[in-house]
Structure 1
Amino acid sequence: MSLNDLFDPDSIAVIGASKTPGKLGNDAMANAKEFDGPVYPVNPSGDGSVYGYDFVESVADTDADLALCCVPGPVTPEVIEECGEAGVGAAVVFAGGFAEAGGQGIELQADVQSIAEEYDIAVLGPNTAGHIIPHRHLFSSFVPGFDEIDSGDVAIAAQSGGVGVTATFQLDREGYGTAGMYGLGNRVNTDFDEVIPMLDDDSEVDAIALHIEGTDQIDSVIEAVEAASTPVVALKSGNEMEEFVQAHTAAPIQESERYERPFTNGGAVMADSLTELLDASRVLAQCPQADGPNVGLVTAQAGPGIMMADYLDERGVNFPELTEDTRERLDDILPGFTYDRNPVDTGRPMPEFGDVIDAVGRDDNVDIVLVYEIFEHSLGYPVEELEQLTADIDKPVVFTVAGPDAALSDDRDRMEDLGVATFDSPERGAYAASVLAETSR
């Protein structure tokens, strides 16, 4: 079985396509119409066209290699068999009522799996929100608004479609797109261990974010994480409430500890929340790898700086002494009421704030530069100084911003373009720096 038709199809069939707004087959077509290649709305009862595409009676009347199955669960095996006879190589099954429902649902999923294996079809799902790959204009989902998601550098592989959807829209709200979102659902024959290597090979993917409830392929998943050269961050949920978890994606109950040690030994990061999952993925995607765990913290406001220092200290992150050359340079820049050790605090934003960051960033004892500054209209952020600094040093720079979003957005975008990862609260910035420190060891 190959996942090529799932990741990079030439043509798409939407089986169960509909003209009726609000129906699954209409929502799927609304997203699929953004695809650059042929799209075939398949419905024997269809008349005319939908979104400019003429209905066809059967998938056999298409040359599709990816099928989006917008049909009820009980008829899904029949549809998968029709896809196999038509030469379709991959299918997305949105319907629920399979293994997660128990009883006949287990038999229904077994039928889908057997037919998919017979025809060598890669099935995403069932019980999935689908997948999107914005840089390929592929939006294989029924979720409204997914066709407006921009490309980014973090790919999300989520066992829960709801988690994948939530993560995608959170990245979108914060000004980032995604390199892909894959809702694995019940994982009939496409599990994490198949998806991770494909994402690792995708040049558009700079970090892989995993949401895991549980999988019978745990050893293969661990091997895939260990083999990946792309940074991996994982969030494990579903540690309790066995009946609730199994009624969701038919996942086996597995405690976080079963994943944590092998994942971290394999170079992955374990997150404790969805926001941590995305923040860790984003900072690893954007920033160069740190040579060590030593953080140089520069703040223009002592209160948030102390919070960040506390957060990092509790996680064992180092605050090295600055070199004598750096201290002398800071003494020339800073007024006497400031704190010029490490952390370095300027008291408030100042025209020379960029020079302070530059001095700390060039210090030989500093591996990671972490900054907190409130935006001031008269000063803006020190983008020019950061541009020169990031060009001269190969160190990660994390900048925590505060201020009116409309006012600071241009400078924030410019910093992001330089590879400076930006965050909007002291805890998120400190967490990102802790991830860089952890992955340097």
Structure 2
Amino acid sequence: HGVRFVGPNIYGVYYTPAHMSAAFTTPYDVQGSVALASQSGGIGMGILGFSRSTNMGVSSIVGLGNKADIDEDDLLTFFEQDENTECVALHMEDLKDGRSFVEVAQRVSKKKPIVVLKAGATPAGAKAAASHTAALAGDDKVYDDILRQAGVVRARSLQELLQFARCLPMIPTPKGENVVIITGAGGSGVLLSDACYLNGLQLMEMPDDLNAAFMQYIPPFGAAGNPVDITGGEPPETYRKTIALGLEDERIHSLILGYWHTIITPPMTFAEVVSDVVEEYRGKGIEKPIVASLAGDVQVEEASNYLFERGIPAYPYSTETMVEVLGAKYRWARMAGLLNGANG
């Protein structure tokens, strides 16, 4: 009779636009633009808990289990057409048909980012997957090639899968490769530079005129170049002016902000300044990827949440995660052919 089914061995299916919660796990109803699927019930509950904790809206959460019928290809075909979904994140232990997956994912990923966490990437993990969902072990290098051909962004951990899913719909698509770091802490600037290199991001070679423009706003003992080190003793206005310059200059394509906690510019003051200037330029039709690293006392947690709520990925106590999510956006944009080698 043409009836399709999901499973067996699953926790259920959520589809928030229709207020559907067909699962034996806790209900979830925060609507958003991310669809997530997992072969594992435990990972599925992790997805649900993370979504609730971060207030990440989802369009759907799907348990795939042993995939006797519906598999990742079917989900991608559905979410490709689903106007409520802008990004798809998949946890998988195996692929039943790698060729079919590549064919579908190549088409979908040109329109919407696809993030994949391939479990069982090591011999020990592959053995565990075989007993868990009867997943067939495979050489991870082969899977890596398959996923690369498919144009998907590969996550290497559950946390990466979740953070990429959370941030990719939020970050505007970059128009070029030139990344600039603006930081109030020189040490953060060094670590952020390392993270850029490790995540395939290109730090812009600062032209003389742009270097001089930044130097107008920072003290003589600060450092332009890239990173732009405005130093720690600067007031909120210095952050405002340098970020505005970064947004205004067309040669700069993305910004990474490094903040550290001072009494001159407390965390929430920094967060309000950043969100205000970003919103001002959004109003002018200028939207660039912008992420932030916040170092300081516990108040940086509230400030990071404030920025996230306003569409700016921001992480306390880290100089890596925000660069990883920006790097993921760049990887997707390159594979989808949206950058075309633009360097400005």
The bucket for the TM-score relative to the shorter chain is 0.7 to 0.9
Give the SS at the match of 2:37.
strand
The counterpart of 1:136, out of the listed 18, 29, 37, is 18
Q: Counterpart in 2 of 1:237?
A: 119
Q: Percent same amino acid among aligned pairs?
A: 25
Per-residue CA shift, 1:70-100, capped at 9, x if unaligned?
xxxxxxxxxxxxxxxxxxxxxxxxxxxxxxx
Per-residue CA shift, 1:228-262, capped at 9, x if unaligned?
02111111111324542122111111233223223
The counterpart of 1:225, out of the listed 96, 101, 105, is 105
1:367 and 2:257 are equivalent in the alignment: no
The 1:405/1:140 distance shift into structure 2, 3 A limit, reads farther
The counterpart of 2:236, out of the listed 338, 343, 351, is 351
Mapped partners of 1:341, 1:320: distance in 2: 9
Q: 1:378: how far off? A: 6.9
The counterpart of 2:181, out of the listed 286, 290, 297, is 297
Mapped partners of 1:438, 1:126: distance in 2: 34
Q: 1:428: how far off? A: 0.5
| Equivalent position amino acid for 1:350 in 2 | P
Mapped partners of 1:259, 1:406: distance in 2: 37
Mapped partners of 1:422, 1:350: distance in 2: 20
The 1:406/1:270 distance shift into structure 2, 3 A limit, reads closer
| Equivalent position amino acid for 1:431 in 2 | E
RMSD (Å) for aligned C-alpha atoms: 2.2
**Length, aligned pairs only:** 318
The 1:268/1:378 distance shift into structure 2, 3 A limit, reads closer
Give the SS at the match of 2:5.
strand
Contact 1:129 1:183 in 2 (8 A): yes
| Equivalent position amino acid for 1:359 in 2 | L
Give the SS at the match of 1:306.
helix
Mapped partners of 1:435, 1:369: distance in 2: 15
Q: 1:227: how far off? A: 1.1
Give the SS at the match of 1:248.
helix
Mapped partners of 2:127, 2:151: distance in 1: 32
Q: Counterpart in 2 of 1:307?
A: 191
Q: 1:166: how far off? A: 0.8
The counterpart of 2:54, out of the listed 170, 174, 179, is 174
Mapped partners of 1:302, 1:274: distance in 2: 31
Q: 1:415: how far off? A: 2.4
1:390 and 2:288 are equivalent in the alignment: no
Give the SS at the match of 2:203.
coil
1:422 and 2:307 are equivalent in the alignment: no
Q: 1:334: how far off? A: 0.8
* Greater mean deviation of Cα atoms: 297-306 or 204-213: 297-306
Larger Rg computed on CA atoms:
1
Q: Which consecutive unaligned segments of at least 5 residues does structure 1 have?
A: 1-118
Per-residue CA shift, 1:369-427, capped at 9, x if unaligned?
111224615724222111123343242122234542674267325522xxx33334221
The 1:378/1:432 distance shift into structure 2, 3 A limit, reads closer
Contact 1:225 1:268 in 2 (8 A): yes
Give the SS at the match of 1:276.
helix
Higher relative contact order (CA 8 A, sep 6+): 2
Q: Counterpart in 1 of 2:306?
A: 411
Per-residue CA shift, 1:294-342, capped at 9, x if unaligned?
2111122222222111111234421112334432321221112222111
The counterpart of 1:151, out of the listed 31, 34, 38, is 31
| Equivalent position amino acid for 2:57 in 1 | G
Give the SS at the match of 2:35.
strand
Mapped partners of 2:33, 2:315: distance in 1: 16
Q: Counterpart in 2 of 1:261?
A: 145
The counterpart of 1:204, out of the listed 69, 72, 84, is 84
Give the SS at the match of 1:336.
coil
* Greater mean deviation of Cα atoms: 240-249 or 225-234: 240-249
Deviation >4 Å, runs of 4+: none
Contact 1:200 1:230 in 2 (8 A): yes
Q: Counterpart in 2 of 1:192?
A: 72
Mapped partners of 1:374, 1:262: distance in 2: 41
The 1:218/1:377 distance shift into structure 2, 3 A limit, reads closer
The 1:410/1:237 distance shift into structure 2, 3 A limit, reads closer
Q: 1:364: how far off? A: 3.1
| Equivalent position amino acid for 2:4 in 1 | A
* Greater mean deviation of Cα atoms: 190-199 or 243-252: 243-252
Q: How does the TM-score come out when normalised to structure 2?
A: 0.84
Contact 2:307 2:313 in 1 (8 A): no
Q: Which consecutive unaligned segments of at least 5 residues does structure 2 have?
A: 335-344
* Greater mean deviation of Cα atoms: 195-204 or 405-414: 405-414
Per-residue CA shift, 1:155-182, capped at 9, x if unaligned?
1121222212212211321231322111
Q: How does the TM-score come out when normalised to structure 1?
A: 0.67
1:278 and 2:168 are equivalent in the alignment: no
Q: 1:347: how far off? A: 1.9
Mapped partners of 1:309, 1:317: distance in 2: 9
Q: 1:225: how far off? A: 0.8
The 1:197/1:350 distance shift into structure 2, 3 A limit, reads farther
Mapped partners of 1:165, 1:183: distance in 2: 10
Contact 1:323 1:365 in 2 (8 A): no
The counterpart of 1:433, out of the listed 320, 326, 332, is 326
The 1:415/1:378 distance shift into structure 2, 3 A limit, reads closer
